[in-house]
Amino acid sequence: MTGLSLLKRHLAGSLLAASLALGAFVLPARALTFDEVGKVVQLLTELEPELGRLAYDEEEADQWFDDDAGLEGRIAKAGFSRETWKQALDATFRGYLATIATERFEATFSGLTERVDASDLNDEQKAEMRSFVETKIAETRALRAEGEKYVDAVQPYAARLNELLGDQEE
């Protein structure tokens, strides 16, 4: 693997861990209820010991649905189909991002472009990586903005979601 590929993977991992939002869904907008958020949080809590910490993206939502179906099928028992699970998890996640204090949210991006600039990459590779990082930051900010419409439903669960989805280094 080239140095650029390794750096991209490392920075993508850092962005995912820092911002929790690199996996963007293109799902239809719909209302999210307090009860749905409660079910999502309960399922994340119950399934984490068996399935591990959720690394949020569309494939992971599908994987959790499949893995749970092979266990006790708790997601389906809670009333979710594969599609409604993905929608509720997506909306909960976006709403969670919107509950994070702006200063804390923006701090997750601190130093990312500087790390690219300080790397051993050549100028062309650095420009490519800066563009990649800036695109991912913009995507994450957009997810957060889209989550504003879910804040009321998610806010009561924000602390628990932070434990389940938040940065481990806090």
Do 89 and 115 lie in one domain? The reply is no
Do 88 and 38 lie in one domain? The reply is yes
Lowest mean pLDDT among 78-87, 106-115, 136-145: 106-115
The residue segments making up the domain with residue 142 are 1-18+108-149
- Indicate whether 157 belongs to any domain: no
Do 140 and 92 lie in one domain? The reply is no
What is the chain's alpha carbon radius of gyration, rounded to the nearest angstrom?
17
Do 93 and 121 lie in one domain? The reply is no
Q: What is the mean pLDDT of the chain?
A: 84
- Indicate whether 25 belongs to any domain: no
Q: How far apart are CA 61 and CA 65, in angstroms?
A: 6
Whether residue 169 contacts residue 58, with contact meaning beta carbons closer than 8 Å, is answered with: no
Provide the CA 54 distance to its chain's centre, in angstroms: 9
- Indicate whether 135 belongs to any domain: yes
pTM exceeding the 0.85 threshold for the entire prediction: no
Residues with Cβ within 8 Å of residue 164, at least 6 apart in sequence:
41, 44, 45, 48, 53, 54
Burial category of 164 from C-beta neighbours within 10 Å (exposed 0-12, middle 13-18, buried 19 and up): middle
- Indicate whether 26 belongs to any domain: no
Do 124 and 81 lie in one domain? The reply is no
- Indicate whether 131 belongs to any domain: yes
Whether residue 22 contacts residue 144, with contact meaning beta carbons closer than 8 Å, is answered with: no
- Indicate whether 28 belongs to any domain: no
- Indicate whether 7 belongs to any domain: yes
Do 128 and 92 lie in one domain? The reply is no
The structural domain count of the chain equals 2
Do 89 and 113 lie in one domain? The reply is no
Residue 169 banded pLDDT, cuts 50, 70, 90 = very low
**How does DSSP assign 36-105, residue by residue?**
HHHHHHHHHHHHHHHH-S---SHHHHHHHHHHHHTTT-HHHHTT--HHHHHHHHHHHHHHHHHHS-HHHH
Do 82 and 132 lie in one domain? The reply is no
Do 61 and 39 lie in one domain? The reply is yes
- Indicate whether 121 belongs to any domain: yes
3-state SS assignment for residue 166: coil
pLDDT of residue 101: 94
Do 1 and 46 lie in one domain? The reply is no
Q: 102-124 pLDDT, tens per residue?
A: 999 999 888 888 899 899 999 99
Orientation of helix 158-165 relative to helix 34-51, angle to 10°:
30
